[in-house]
Structure 1
Amino acid sequence: MKKTNYSYVGITFIILLFGIWAVPKIVDSFGEPDLATIGEVPAFSFTNQDGETITNADYHEKVYVVEFFFTTCPDICPIMNQNMVKIQNEFYGNPNLGIASFSIDPTYDTPEVLKDYAEAYEITNPHWHLLTGEKFDIYTLANKGFNLYAGEVPGTEDSEASFEHSGFFALVDQEGNIRSRYDENGNPIIYYDGLTQEGITMIIEDIKKLL
């Protein structure tokens, strides 16, 4: 009678069992990243710092970051764009990373002004577009398309108009969907703080997941 090696059979069974359990785990690790889908970016069409017409279709199949700003902003915009440059440099040379910076003061922020601003901040990513256009369209995109607040405070006899906006960045995937990570309670954070290193670290990590 042939003697069965029960130790060998047991080990083989364990390996097969582990393999059956592990395969879906491995498949999951190559599936969709664990990020919430917030909504779809509406269609848009604006002019960039080079005088080119840029639409949401130009970002198709790219992961991109969105902000609303204006070039004469004296406080949070410089911080936001210094941090955006950090994101640019983290993915230097990667053609699949884009940035869209929409000016909420398009009357002043002409393509020529935006071009000078891009040079001052050392914006080198060819897919980082500083965008200007019709004020109504930009404000609609900000407040309704992204739910990122942007507003204008009318001027008076003694002061010029001023502008208000959030310091948050939006993250958009290759299909044009706004994405975000979840917080510790399982709720989507929706937007990333463009004013803190923590927020920049988080969005860089999540860009890598999408890429």
Structure 2
Amino acid sequence: MSVEKPIQTDESLTTEQRNPAVERFLWALLIVILVGVSAGAAWKLWSVRQTQSSSAAQVVVLPPSGPLGVVSDFSLVDQNGNAVTLGDLKGKVWVADFFWTHCPGKCPMMTQRMGTLQSALPQGADARLVSITVDPKSDSPEVLKEYAQRFGAKDERWLFLTGDLQAIIRLAREGFHLNATENPNDHELRLVLVDRDAHIRGYFDLDEESVAKLRQQLTSLVAEGQP
């Protein structure tokens, strides 16, 4: 009489009898899945935080009681070859930016934003726009004059300034608390609102919402000084 051997099932297999290659594959697959899920969750969290951070950083504005600093004195030359110092702007509300005429990035858009502010200012408003080149070696008064005309700048309203590179870098860093280096590409694309006492009242990005808030703040400051 023959005796049938019991059929082995997965449950009856010992650890030694199982295929180690299959087990390694299953463990590797499980690890890949877990890593993928973790990475996806981490990326989602990072994206949300980046969006929140970007939205919060669009505009930095303080009320009259809390200026962000005081612009330091400077001596530069405008597009008409005239000397310009901080004293020439005392008593006026103004908006400043740092740019260069051959900028391959967003400088033209920043200049266009300044142009919208020029258009928004009422006739006779005691306000100025001040664009300071970070490439004075290339941006002579003549070059700035042509650039200003290209963007419809009015001489009595909008100054384009050039001068000594180190003085401009120092003004950007110490006077406006903005990044600037000898490489003209390394400068911040921000619009800076300054009041009549040379107090910095706000930093604004270039998106339409931020520029609209800047226009509102600028108009409000101009109105404060009118009789």
Q: Do both share a fold (TM > 0.5)?
A: yes
Tell me how far apart the structure 2 counterparts of residues 143 and 46 of structure 1 sit (CA, whole Å).
16
Matched residue, 2:215 = 204
Distance 1:97 1:72, change over 3 A: same
Paired position in structure 2 for 1:116? 146
Equivalent residue pairs, number: 160
2:194 alignment counterpart: 172
Match of 1:89 in 2: 119
Give the Cα separation in 1 of the matches to 2:157 and 2:212. 21
Partner-residue secondary structure (3-state), 2:149: helix
Match of 1:48 in 2: 78
Question: Is the radius of gyration larger for structure 1 or structure 2?
Answer: 2
Moved more, 164-173 or 45-54: 164-173
Distance in 1 between residues matched to 2:107 and 2:138, nearest whole Å: 16
Work out whether residues 98 and 125 of structure 1, in 8 Å CA contact, stay in contact via their aligned partners in 2.
no
Q: Corresponding residue for 1:22?
A: none
Asked if the contact 2:78–2:162 (Cα under 8 Å) also holds between the matched residues in 1, the reply is yes
Alpha-carbon displacement from aligned partner over 1:40-64 (angstroms, at most 9, x marks no partner): 1111110000000011111111100
Structure 2 portions without partners, runs of 5+: 1-61, 223-227
Match of 2:170 among 120, 127, 140: 140
Kindly state the Cα deviation for residue 92 of structure 1 after the two structures are TM-superposed: 4.1
Is 1:70 the counterpart of 2:121 in the alignment? no
- Tell me how far apart the structure 1 counterparts of residues 197 and 143 of structure 2 sit (CA, whole Å): 31
* Counterpart in the other structure of 1:186: none
Q: One-letter code of the match for 1:201?
A: A
User: What's the CA shift for 1:128?
Assistant: 1.2
**Using the alignment, how far apart are the partners of 2:210 and 2:153 within structure 1?**
20
Match runs of 1:21-60 below 5 Å: 34-35=63-64, 36-60=66-90
Amino acid of the structure 1 residue aligned with 2:78 = N
Question: Which residue of structure 1 lines up, in the alignment, with residue 109 of structure 2?
Answer: 79
**Identity across aligned pairs (percent)?**
35
State how far apart, in whole Å, the 2-side matches of 1:204 and 1:61 are.
Answer: 19
Counterpart CA distance in 2 for 1:76 and 1:93 is 29
TM-score normalised to structure 1 length: 0.72
Structure 2: distance between partners of 1:140 and 1:87: 26
Q: 1:150 Cα deviation (Å)? A: 1.4
Contact 1:103–1:109 (8 Å) recurs in 2:
yes
User: Structure 1 residue 105: deviation in Å?
Assistant: 0.2
After superposition, the C-alpha distances for 1:62-119 in whole angstroms (9 at most, x for unaligned) are 1000100000002210000001000000004234110111100000000000000000
Contact (CA 8 Å) 1:50, 1:115: kept in 2 or not? yes
Gaps of 5+ in 1: 1-32, 154-161, 181-190
Q: How large is the RMSD of aligned CA atoms in angstroms?
A: 1.5
Per-residue displacement from partner, 1:96-147 (whole Å, max 9, x unpaired)?
1101111000000000000000000100151311000000000000012111
Q: Do the aligned residues in 2 keep the contact of 1:110 with 1:132 (CA within 8 Å)?
A: yes
